[in-house]
Amino acid sequence: MFSKILIANRGEIACRVITTARKMGIKTVAVYSDADARAPFVAMADEAVHIGPSPAAESYLIADKIIAACKQTGAEAVHPGYGFLSERTSFAEALAKENIAFIGPPVNAIAAMGDKIESKKLAKQAGVNVVPGFVGEIEDTEHAVRISNEIGYPVMMKASAGGGGKGMRLAYNEADVREGFESVKREGLNSFGDDRVFIEKFILNPRHIEIQILGDQHGNILYLNERECSIQRRHQKVVEEAPSPFVTPKMRKAMGEQCVALSRAVGYYSAGTVELIVSGADPTGESFYFLEMNTRLQVEHPVTEAITGIDLVEQMIRVAAGEKLTMTQDDIGIDGWAIENRVYAEDPYRGFLPSTGRLVQYSPPVAGWVEDETVAGKARRGVAHGAGSVRVDDGVYDGGEVSRFYDPMIAKLITWAPTRDEAADLQIEALDKFRIKGLGHNVDFVSAIMQHPRFRSGELTTGFIAEEYPDGFHGAATSDDVKRILAAVCAGNEFTLQSRARQITGQLDAPQPVTSEWLVKIGDERFEVTLGDGHAMVDGVRVEGTNSWRPGMVQAEATGKVGDGPEHRLGLIVERVGNQWKVTTRGAAHTALVIPQRLARHESLMLEKIPPDLSRFLICPMPGMLVKLHVVEGETVQPGQPLATVEAMKMENILRAEKEGVIAKINAAEGESLAVDAVILELE
């Protein structure tokens, strides 16, 4: 076994590998860029080596710097994590030349599966179902149009070396192909150094299912069941779970055996994932097709670990050291249900725009990388919670920064429970306990998904988000009982705030009474609240705990009950914003205005501030680089017409005209770095 390994990655995955290596008694070496000098993974490792400036192209993507760090520290092996150099054959070959072990698959397998065009050919030869499409290089846009017309719309254009949702465009017609083909080529070149593109038929009502593969260097290959990854946004996974609510035992066996056959055909060993697209329109569940094989650890691997009890990172290290697998296919079972939500630095209330900057406050529901606790007789990484467990994989810290140079993921929240509904309920409860300030995040959004009736029913497709939130995300649906509890919370905080103000020495000549009768406005709804001794009454709802409320602080919990009905127990974040209260819970943020009942009659005299009309300006919605201007001054544009393309977080975002008009002035040039809210152009 190795005595020291180097992790050629950063963030949560570096922390993840270090945790397992430490458990195995293996020393670790971290490598870091300027931006990551104070990152948690650097502090966790036994040694750390600085490898260059913040951009990945000048640090994490330079193989020579990684190898030099190995030589400097005496590391015998390298774990690449995911992304960066994890699927670069040249990196694995360079390590082999230096007699440094690569904790991953053999070079020939990386080469075969890393090229999506060649991998489809190999999959077909191995007897794996393949999506209909054009398997070959596409010359230019006109060639792409001809191929798409022959296949039949809709089609998916993909960068051959792509991954992680980058370098992908869905085209419903010829115009979409002409508009998106060059963007796919650019994203492939910028992110992966390869601008080749292929096109395949887009499967209607698709579900994204993937099979976890694990093999050793002695010819043993197993499949560790499946993961459901259908809930995606822009082809980037958001929610993953294991097992899938759609897959039957018969289907699981058929999928698993085909994926093992493909792995065997390329001599695969280590952990890997075969991604499949499944037609949800086929009630038999037999219409599944090969998409690609990822020859590395997946972001969503913890859900497989949770239901199988197998530490995938440990197995990767043992396989790389030449050990045999100690389990057989018959040993692989399914214990309970696991769900993972990715917490991203993005603002779902503003069209999921990337949000970079300082984490003014970061407090997860449980500490990251805690020791395993026993839950229901099983050892699981995370904190025991009733019959389940909560695990957070992260690589950020309170006061740290989410940099524009890397992926915007803040953390992964993994819950395990005996049933799917229990795992989802545990997600909602844990998400309410996340405390993130300083930048936008998607905690409300993923909480809303966990509560959504369609998610609960298991009727998922990759179009879930687009279909259920066609007009964008505006917060989870909130019941009337929950709103009454929120009204009581806000009234209680207002009461406490005013009571304290009255007690400040010298503020008033004499103490003044503070009313216990309040009118609370949440949106267009009005609630009458009466505060009692340690409780509040709102339209028949009794809310406990008012004597413990503290204005401006996190509200840990509030409990409300309607007669003999169910008890609502909420985790809350309460903040004072101007003269109002902002309360966030269960996937929605609510703003409340609290007025003493005696002043409610003067409510109509309060001024309402109307925001200015900015519709004639094209405003940059995120920090990024202006990749392309699609218009010139004096040009007439129509609603929906592309105006500019901005690259942020390695993704290209097309900004379109919201109304008809004439371009009066262009304020930015291609290649220019833009700040959020920068005015790119103006209409007459």
Tell how far CA 604 is from the center of its chain.
43
Q: Per the structure block, which two tokens stand in for 106?
A: 């053999």
Distance CA 449, CA 447 (A): 5
Indicate the DSSP class of residue 93: H
- Residues in the chain, overall count: 684
Burial per residue of 91-129, b for 16 or more beta-carbon CB atoms within 10 angstroms, e otherwise:
bbebbeeeebbbbbbbbebbbbbbbbbebbebbeebebb
Consecutive H or E run containing 372: strand 372-375
Q: How far apart are CA 408 and CA 612, in angstroms?
A: 31
CA 31/CA 44 separation, integer angstroms? 12
Q: How far apart are CA 183 and CA 169, in angstroms?
A: 8
Neighbouring CB atoms inside 10 A of 651's CB total: 18
Q: Which CATH number fits domain 4-103: 3.40.50.970, 1.20.1440.130, 3.40.50.20, 3.30.2310.20?
A: 3.40.50.20
Planar angle of CA 229, 232, 237, nearest 5 degrees: 60
Give me the residue spans of the domains in the chain.
4-103, 132-201, 206-332, 336-469, 480-605, 617-683
Instruction: Give φ, ψ of 348 to 5 degrees.
Output: -65, -20
- In CATH terms, the fold of domain 617-683 is OB fold (Dihydrolipoamide Acetyltransferase, E2P) (2.40.50)
Give the whole-angstrom CA distance, residue 290 versus residue 120.
8
Decide: 30 and 20 in contact? Cβ < 8 Å. Answer: no
Instruction: Give the closest residue to 187 by CA, choosing from 159, 155, 145, 164.
Output: 159
Question: Can you give the pLDDT at residue 165?
Answer: 65
> With 0-12 CB in 10 A as exposed, 13-18 as middle and 19+ as buried, what is 194?
middle
Distance between alpha carbon 156 and the CA centroid of its chain, in Å?
22
Following DSSP, what letter does each residue of 156-180 receive, concatenated? EEEEEEEETTEEEEEESSHHHHHHH
Residue 404 carries which side chain, given as an amino acid letter? R
- 572 in Cβ contact with 587 (< 8 Å): no
What was the pLDDT predicted at 680?
95
Q: What are the residues facing 518 on neighbouring strands? A: 529, 596
The two tokens of residue 58 are 């000048």
Hey, which residues are catalytic here? 292
**Strand, coil or helix: 667:** coil
Task: Say whether 132-201 and 4-103 share the same fold.
Answer: no
| Domain 206-332 top-level CATH class | alpha beta
- Per-residue model confidence (pLDDT) at position 499: 74
pLDDT recorded at residue 391: 95
Token pair of 466, please?
């687009």
Give residue 553's pLDDT.
Answer: 46
Contacts of residue 101, defined as CB under 8 A and 6 or more positions apart, other chains included, come to: 2, 76, 77, 78, 95, 320, 321
Q: Mean pLDDT per 10-residue run, the chain (684 residues)? A: 98 96 97 96 97 95 97 98 95 97 97 84 88 82 93 88 75 92 86 83 88 98 98 92 95 95 96 91 73 94 96 98 97 96 93 87 81 54 78 94 89 96 95 91 96 96 94 91 87 80 59 73 90 80 64 57 66 85 90 84 59 85 88 92 84 86 94 90 93
Token readout for 429 is: 């409860």
pLDDT at residue 493, as a whole number: 83
CATH 3.90.1640.30 for domain 336-469: no
Interhelix angle 89-97/107-114, rounded to 10 degrees, is 170
Fold of the CATH domain 480-605: Glycoprotein, Type 4 Pilin (3.30.700)
Nearest one of 322, 222, 311, 235 to 274, comparing CA atoms: 222
Rounded Cα gap, residues 600 and 603, in angstroms: 5
Q: What is the pTM of this model?
A: 0.82
Position 279: which residue type? Answer: S
The topology (CATH level 3) of 132-201 is Dna Ligase; domain 1 (3.30.1490)
Per the rule left: phi > 0, alpha: psi between -120 and 50, beta: everything else, 186 is: alpha
What are the residues whose beta carbons fall under 8 Å from the beta carbon of 671, sequence distance 6 or more? 625, 626, 627
Pair 195, 181: CB distance under 8 Å: no
CA distance 552 to 575: 5
Q: Tell me the Ramachandran region of residue 155: left when phi exceeds 0, alpha when psi lies from -120 to 50, beta otherwise.
A: beta
